[in-house]
Amino acid sequence: MKKAILYLNQFFGQIGGEDKADFEPVLEDKPIGSAGIFNGIAKNVKIEQTMICGDNFMASHTDEAIERCLKLLEGKKFDIFIAGPAFNAGRYGNACGQICKAVHEKFNVPVITSMNVENPGVEMFKRDMYIFKGGNRATAIKQDMTAMAAFADKIAGGEKLLPADMEGYFPRGIRHEVFLEDLGMEPVMACDRAVDMLLAKLKGEEYVTELPIPKQDLVPIAPAVKDIRKIKVGLVTSGGIVPRENPDRIESASATKWGKYNIAGLDKLPAPEFKTIHAGYDPEQADKNPNVVEPLDAIRALQKEGKLGEVDDFFYATVGTGTTQGEAARMGREIAADLRSRGVEAVILTST
């Protein structure tokens, strides 16, 4: 039986929620949380220890967090390192990717994690490790752990590993020579496969290329603002700052809506008239002072000092946590169109 160590954030490590996001790394000599699911499925691997670290601590003190995590692993016997699953949680995905990459580089053991396709950690780390295609929320934890457990079993058993699409992890950009019969497919010469694909393409039929080219979603860089004192500036935030009643019913996570709120004549955003509905960070400070997320007070101060010109009479808000790339792009286009209609030439975008 091979030994594994599981990495979890503070929430899934049963330490606490956002109030414990600064929790510092520990290594518990027992399986915790989703380790039970893994151990109930895997036949050749068993999670015996659990590493826990708060998402904020890993994000804000990355070098220190990794150094301390690696120090905790020194002298420990383990054959595989598992992290997550991280679903669509960006900070958690970053943490799983950071620690998996560091563990593999130092201890040279296989590392496995799982993330939703919308998690930014996929693009950041898919070349460095096996990242399984996971669900977008914690309700998918059983199926995600099942996929990782099955793959860990194959590694532990010395079985032949199949291509990424067949195993279920994101392609890593690593090409290997394989024989089709080893994949349970009929052997066909490369020239014949190429002709078959060409004919299918000409007929408008579906086909799968053997050399996929990654799609690049590149946004052109906007020209520099020559003099910010002579243009109209808009304010946008993904930090969930809204009027107390949340009149647009913007979701606290996985947002599909945005709002536009009047700030004409305000020197700052007053509490409790404004608050945050964002579910991805501790709301205490933002509810006490919404300007820590949407800094209208600082904007007005810059105006009084003559360092900033006209500011639009409205600010725009939505929630970033869990929001899919598709929804974010749509809302961005809609907000941009409204800003342009109001003569806004530059935007100050704040996040969390």
pLDDT for residue 98 is more than 90: yes
Do 31 and 162 fall within a single domain?
yes
Do 17 and 114 fall within a single domain?
yes
Summarised one tens digit per residue, pLDDT across range 291-311 is 999 999 999 999 999 999 999
Q: What is the DSSP letter of 272?
A: T
The stretch 210-220 carries a mean pLDDT of 74
The stretch 94-102 carries a mean pLDDT of 95
| 242 or 136, which is more confident | 242
266 located within any domain: yes
Which residues are within 8 A (CB) of 154 and not within 5 positions of it... i.e. 6 or more apart?
A: 161
For the chain, the domain total comes to: 2
Instruction: Give residue 92's Cα distance to chain centre.
Output: 7
Summarised one tens digit per residue, pLDDT across range 120-177 is 899 889 989 999 999 988 899 999 999 999 999 999 988 888 888 888 999 887 666 6
150 located within any domain: yes
The stretch 214-225 carries a mean pLDDT of 80
322 located within any domain: yes
The stretch 261-289 carries a mean pLDDT of 94
By percentage, how much of the chain surpasses pLDDT 70? 96
Do 24 and 129 fall within a single domain?
yes
Q: Among the three residues 147, 167, 187, which one is the final residue of a domain in this structure?
A: 167
Q: Among the three residues 145, 167, 189, which one is the final residue of a domain in this structure?
A: 167
| Per-chain mean pLDDT for the chain | 91
Nearest of 185, 164, 125, 141 to residue 34 by alpha carbon? 141
CB-CB contact of 90 with 321 (8 Å): yes
pLDDT for residue 201 is more than 80: yes
pTM, two decimal places: 0.66
216 located within any domain: no
The stretch 309-322 carries a mean pLDDT of 93
Which residues are within 8 A (CB) of 93 and not within 5 positions of it... i.e. 6 or more apart?
A: 84, 86, 115, 119, 120, 121, 122, 124
184 located within any domain: no
> What's the confidence (pLDDT) of residue 176?
66
- The span from the first CA to the last CA of the chain, in angstroms, equals 43
203 located within any domain: no
Q: Which helix (H) or strand (E) holds 241?
A: strand 241-243
Do 243 and 150 fall within a single domain?
no
Q: Among the three residues 135, 167, 199, which one is the final residue of a domain in this structure?
A: 167
Do 128 and 277 fall within a single domain?
no
| Cβ-based burial of 229 (10 A; exposed 0-12, middle 13-18, buried ≥19) | middle
Do 24 and 130 fall within a single domain?
yes
Do 135 and 251 fall within a single domain?
no
8 located within any domain: yes
Which CATH number is 96's domain given?
Answer: 3.40.50.2300
- In terms of residue numbers, what domain contains 281? 228-350
| Cβ-based burial of 181 (10 A; exposed 0-12, middle 13-18, buried ≥19) | exposed
318 located within any domain: yes
